[in-house]
Amino acid sequence: MAERKVSVESEVGLHARPAATFVQTAAKAPFDVTVAKAGGQPVSAKSILSVLALDVRQGESIVISAEGEGADEVLDRLAEIAAAS
């Protein structure tokens, strides 16, 4: 299981456009991808409703996890989206 821990830097948090881009990218992966707030329950990163409901605000950390061939590339890409301001 690979994972990345990143701090969300967008002013709107992981909502609105960043959330949509994040979920669209995760949805392309052929394996499960999860996202959780640090210490929280992981949810599917492919579900916009679940990601929104996490209510990640600017400055909060998230942990993104996946397992499978190419998981590292997908996680790097997702971490980049989440960390973008």
Partner 1 sequence: MDRRETGSTHPESQEQAPLLLTGTGVSPGSGYGPAYLVVGDIPEPAAGSRHDGDAPAERDRAERALDDVAADLESRGARAGGEAEEVLGAQAMMARDPGLAVEVGQLIDQGVAAPRAVFEAFGKYRDLLSAAGGYLGERVADLDDIRDRAIALLTGLPMPGVPTSAAVPFVLVAKDLAPADTALLSKDVVAAFVTEQGGPTSHTAILARSMGVPAVVGCAGATSIAQGAAVLVDGSSGHVRLSPDEDEVTAARNADEARRAVLSAVSGPGATADGHAVPLLANIGGPRDLEAALAAGAEGVGLYRTEFLFLDRETAPTPEEQEEAYRAVFDAFPGGRVVVRTLDAGADKPLAFLPPPGEEPNPALGERGIRLFRRYPDIMAVQLGALARAAAGTAAKAEIMAPMVATVEEAAWFAEACRTAGLENAGIMIEVPSAAIRAADLIEEVDFFSIGTNDLTQYALAADRQVSEVATLQDPWHPAVLDLIGMAASAATAAGKGCGVCGEAAADPILACVLVGMGVTSLSMSAPALGLVRAALARHTREQCRLAAEAARSSTSPAGARTAARAELPELGSLSL
Binding site for partner 1 (CB under 8 A): 12, 15-17, 19-20, 23-24, 27, 43-44, 46-50, 52-53, 55
Nearer Cβ to partner 1, position 4 or 46?
A: 46
Is residue 15 flagged as an active site residue?
yes
Least Cβ distance, residue 26 to partner 1 (angstroms): 10
The sheet with strand 33-37 has its strands ordered as 2-7, 61-66, 33-37, 43-44
Instruction: Check: CB of residue 14 under 8 Å from CB of residue 43.
Output: no
Of the candidates 4, 13, 14, 15, the residue annotated as catalytic is 15
Query: Which CA distances in Å does 37 have to 42, 62, 69, 70?
Result: 7, 4, 24, 23
- Min. distance of Cβ 9 from partner 1 in angstroms? 17
What are the residue numbers of the active site? 15
